[in-house]
Structure 1
Amino acid sequence: MNLTALYLAALLACPAFAQQTAEHNDAFRLVAKIPVPGMTGTWDHLAADSSTSRLFLSAQEDNEVRVIDLAGRKPLHTISGGFNRPQGEFFVPGANSLAVTNGRDGTLRSFDGKTYEPIKVLSLTLGADMMDYDPESKYLYIDHGGVDSNRGPGALAVVDTTDWHLVRDIATEYRPAALEIQPSTHRLFVTLPGLSQVGVIDTRTSTIIARFQAPRPTKPVAIALDTADKRVFVGTRSPDNFIAFDTETGKTVATLDSLSGIEGMYFDAAHKRIYVTGLDGNVQAIQTIDPDHYKELARFFTGPKAGTSIFIPKLNLFCVALPPADGKVAEVWLFEPLP
């Protein structure tokens, strides 16, 4: 039995999920499958430029960034040369540039968004990974390091995207992971897996002003933010849970069972839903009932180790990246949320 068949057999063994598939579920409509030939490893993070309908994918073992034309439903370009395990990505719209972190050499590499030519290489520390952007200050925040992962002191690098220089580091000691900025309140929420916490940072003072505690030894690795309802959502491993925190008090207001090996989590403000992907190859959609209550709307399988995803609100698209498996080429699946 091949790998895909094993995943499907395990999924279908659970009656609650047997009726949910990528083609038939209560949260999405599958609108396209885009083949990505020649990709040989696994995907890491994704980024998007909604103004040109482009999707950027880190092919970490191939040391490449693939560019997909979402409107044309086809591969567009491959950025290669100089990468050392590309991981996190962020497209900076105002600067029309792409930022890519490299986990093995700890660098941040920036590229012209039109020509794909390199702009600058900035050295951080090992494990440079996920990012988020403050459009008011034009600062990009990048997680790197971590004493709990033998990468030196953990920190968030603050980089000015107008000239790509390092403004400062915000010390976290332990490894920071997923992060979300709330510009209206000058707060940044960052998961600290080694502490089972969500740290709250004041971006004006660059200090941690609060810590939201998840049950130990759970590891929060993914994050999404509902600004209107004052909720921050995290996806955890060991155990695999969805947790909703009150952003003002830090109190846990809801917990649900989630996916194994959570990788991505996104909030869809228009539909009041949270989308989750995990390394078990599943997609989970969670519906907000009210700010204190949530329910699972859908859960379905896409492909082995297909944990990489992104939601693009301006295009109303949820994208899931599938690595090659069982003789099939890598693909990007595009979903539109159902009303």
Structure 2
Amino acid sequence: MKIKIKANTFLIALISISGLFTSCSGQETFGNQYLKLEKVIPLPGVKGRIDHMDVNVNEKERIVYASALGNNSLEVVSLLQGKVIHTIGGLSEPQGVAYLPKQHEIFVANGGNGDCYFYDAGTFKKTGAVHLPSDADDVRYDSIQGKIYVGYGEGGMAIIDAVTKRLTGDIKLPAHPESFQLDIPSGRIWVNIPEAGMIAMLDEKNQKITAEWRIHYPSAYFPMAYDKKDHRLFVGCRRPARLLILNSENGKEIATYLCTGDPDDLYYDSSSRRILISGGEGYVDIFQQQHADVYRQISYLPSRAGARTSLWIPTSKEWLIAAPARLGHTAALLVYKMSN
């Protein structure tokens, strides 16, 4: 036990010390007062890329579900115990995942075969399945209406009833959708469609595209977050690495900022008015929203090479960064705490 504690402490110190150096892009790191690495949770035996995550925030459980795409598994991780407590294997490149608290189930979207599975979150037994044509990817869950949204294939947004476990809607898109955000009251959905060179606004009720905003530079936009109060979309772009800010009502570009390379997850925390970005370059960003049109980068810190995906837990101000096995390191969840 002492050896594990010492190794874990050393790893945290090593990651923290690396903040003294500059990134491969030449930008100096700064802002470590805003983010503290609290623990590193190993993911033993997990190989390859790690995709999206979700969490059961119940204080007595605090369970994270991590889609280990390259490992064809879903890793069930206890934040309280600091370890993997179960692995659901035999999946086909799992990408999106959602915890469904009302029915205590887990929903997993498989990119390899398009299958979407439901599992009992207590027994981990499969309770249902919905097949999509191919490449089931990012997932959103609307707990109010009991709907699950899944971007998939060469151009589709599937809508699944979480209770009946049946496909109830399908919005056709011009190419594969990446990250998307919902506005439940208005029934609108914003979605990144980089292969088509656009961000689209969808009408869920009529199941159609209502606006197309052509964006050619910066390109390769994958993650997205939404500020409902100020009507802003935050989009992470890879070519070049930029944070793009748009008016969600009309698609007007508000601002563009340099950000970490290879961004894959992006969050907006409404209570602190901060934007959090994780990138595969091995760095994370925090931007402070000063008002709807002006933002300031307040933190740029090292995480680990390849750690593209992350999960923000607003209730506890924890930011989980998924680090794949690389350069002699075991795959792990890096658990950070954001301060004011």
Normalised TM-score (structure 2): 0.89
Q: In the alignment, which of 135, 151, 160 is matched to residue 143 of structure 1?
A: 151
The alpha carbon displacement at 1:71 in A equals 2.1
Deviations, residues 215-272 of structure 1 (Å, cap 9, x unaligned)? 3461221100111111111111212211111112221111101222111111111111
Within the alignment, does 1:110 sit opposite 2:87 as a pair?
A: no
In 2, Cα distance between equivalents of 1:314 and 1:13: 33
CA-based RMSD:
2.0
**Residue type at the aligned position of 2:73:** E
Which stretch shows the higher mean deviation, 215-224 or 278-287?
A: 215-224
Q: Which amino acid aligns with 2:82?
A: R
Q: 1:225 to 1:217 in 2, by over 3 A?
A: closer
How many aligned positions are there?
A: 322
Q: How far off is 1:285 after superposition?
A: 0.8
1:133 is aligned to 141
1:229/1:323 CA distance change after superposition, 3 Å: same
Alignment partners' CA distance in 2, 1:14 and 1:203: 40
Whole-Å separation in 2 of the counterparts to 1:14 and 1:145: 34
What are the Cα deviations for residues 31-81 of structure 1, in whole angstroms up to 9, with x where unaligned? 111122111222111111112311111112221111111122222211113
Gaps (5+ residues) in structure 1?
147-153
8 Å CA contact 2:22–2:28 kept in 1: the answer is yes
What is the identity, as a one-letter code, of the residue corresponding to 2:240? P
Match of 1:290 in 2: 291
Aligned partner of 2:89 among 49, 60, 80: 80
Alignment of 1:258 onto 2:259: yes
Kept after mapping to 1: 8 A contact 2:110/2:135: yes
1:197–1:220 Cα contact (<8 Å) kept: no
Q: Any idea what SS the aligned residue of 1:122 has?
A: strand
- Give CA-to-partner distance per residue, 1:97-120, whole Å, 9 cap, x none: 111111111111111122111112
Matched, 1:270 2:283: no
Q: Is the 8 A contact 1:133 1:181 kept in 2?
A: no
Matches within 5 A, 1:24-103: 25-51=32-58, 52-81=61-90, 83-103=91-111
Q: Where does 1:146-225 land on structure 2 (aligned, <5 Å)?
A: 146=154, 154-216=155-217, 218-225=219-226
SS of the equivalent of 1:129 reads coil
Shift in CA distance, 16/26, structure 1 to aligned 2, threshold 3 Å: farther
Distance 1:118 1:104 in 2: 18
Task: State the match for 1:17 in structure 2.
Answer: 28
Q: Distance in 2 between matches of 1:294 and 1:130?
A: 27
CA contact (8 A) 1:196 1:217 kept: no
What residue ranges of structure 2 are gaps of 5+ in the alignment? 1-14
Residue identity (%): 26
Q: Is the 8 A contact 2:192 2:198 kept in 1?
A: yes
Question: How far 1:16 moved relative to its partner?
Answer: 4.5
- Counterpart residue identity of residue 306, structure 2: K
The answer to whether the 8 A contact 2:77-2:86 is kept is: yes
CA deviation after TM superposition for structure 1 residue 15, in Å: 6.6
The residue aligned with 2:130 is 122
